[in-house]
Amino acid sequence: MTVNGKPAYSRKELAAAFAARIRDAVRRPMRLMEVCGTHTVSIFRNGIRTLLPPEIALLSGPGCPVCVTAQQEIDAFIALARIEKVTVATFGDLMRVPGTLSTLRSEKADGRDIRMVYSALDALNIAAHNPDRRVVFIGVGFETTAPTIAASIVMAADRGINNFSVLAAHKLVPPVLAALMESGGVQIDGFLLPGHVSVIIGAQAYLPFVQQYGIPCVIAGFEAEDILNAILKLARQVANGGARLENAYKRVVSFEGNPRALALMHTVFEPVDAPWRGIGTIAASGLKIRKDFSRFDARKVFALDVPETGEPPGCACGDVLMGRKTPPQCALYKRICTPANPVGPCMVSSEGSCAAYYRYHGD
């Protein structure tokens, strides 16, 4: 088959070609980590692990925003829902994440006003149409969602919607990469960097990390061919002793990112030390609402003070997020923890490693 006089290859042929090149490039065992939940799902769905030589081990890192949300933060969401005349608006994945004593889904069943929305703007509209209630949007996510949530706060200020607020629990990707390198306990030879986040922050955001730690990094798209191409680039870097940043998703990701989105994000938010499930507190790895917009900061509006709590007993979600364990190595996996009865968030979210293993893997 030809297109414009040139050979055209099927996706199966392209995948096979990339797999052959990867096998040729491998010189030693290597452990590569993806730090994007969408990559994790795509790797499983497309059977990419089965195409790779045994020398390459793929690790699923802290790339699922729901999964890395700390237990204390989940408890804060539930505490908000229990306040009189408060409406909590949230993305659907958070509904079933177990807190210490409850879930948002259980609270909704008990009569709390908890609504699933698709964006922060949906929550803002709920506030505009219900002036007698205080509406709180749960701000969970990486740099991908932070600009749209910042936009909702700016719009609330412009429109004088003062019964709207946000509980910001955002996480930033570059700081967690450094934390993974500093933590010990797992050898990482290269990183498959996220595509969606990189659209916002740009390739430039990773340069300090690559320069400091001297580790191969490749920004990847989400099709099977994108991921295999990125793995090939990482394998060649490792084989040649290289350590540089490569952008294998140039059709979408630029060097500078999205300046308008970044400006909006920085107008509303500023960096703050943030807790990550299974990792601990990482300096300047989260976002808090700036003083100029403090009237929209749910932490201040409601003076939240939720005690810190530990992981659910027996749950290895933290070790899975760090690449120290695979889901089948958790004692609860498939025995007690299932999608129908999740113990930890890694089994709840569609982007969680445990959920992906359960759905696509034979273990």
Domain harbouring 215, CATH code: 3.40.50.11750
Q: Would you say 48 and 227 are in contact if contact means Cβ atoms under 8 Å apart?
A: yes
Statement to judge: residues 215 and 277 lie in one domain = no
> For residue 156, how many C-alpha atoms fall within 13 Å in the half-sphere facing its CB?
34
Helix (H, G, I), strand (E, B) or coil at 333: strand
Whole-model pTM: value is 0.92
236-273: per-residue pLDDT in tens? Answer: 999 999 899 999 999 999 999 999 999 999 999 999 99
Statement to judge: residues 165 and 209 lie in one domain = no
Helix, strand and coil content of the chain, in percent to the nearest 5, comes to: 45, 20, 35
Residue 94: which domain range? 66-172+257-301
Residue type, 197: V
Mean pLDDT along residues 140-161: 97
166-202: per-residue pLDDT in tens? Answer: 999 999 999 999 999 998 777 899 999 999 999 999 9
Tokens standing for 97?
A: 């994440």
What gap in Å lies between CA 140 and CA 303, rounded to an integer?
A: 19
Kindly state whether residue 296 falls inside one of the protein's structural domains: yes
Statement to judge: residues 145 and 288 lie in one domain = yes
How buried is 330 (Cβ within 10 angstroms: 0-12 exposed, 13-18 middle, 19+ buried)? buried
What separation in angstroms does the CA of 162 have from each of 129, 138, 295? 12, 16, 8
What gap in Å lies between CA 125 and CA 143, rounded to an integer?
A: 23
Tokens standing for 298?
A: 């749910």
Kindly state whether residue 279 falls inside one of the protein's structural domains: yes
Q: Which of 123-132, 196-205, 264-273, 347-356 has the lowest mean pLDDT?
A: 347-356
Statement to judge: residues 164 and 280 lie in one domain = yes
* Of 189, 206, 188, 208, residue with least CA distance to 249: 206
DSSP of 253-311, one letter per residue? --SS--HHHHHHHHHHEEEEEEEETTTEEEEEEEEEE-GGGGGGBHHHHTT--PPP--P
37-45 vs 353-360: helix crossing angle, rounded to 10: 10
**Count of structural domains, the chain:** 3
Statement to judge: residues 95 and 164 lie in one domain = yes
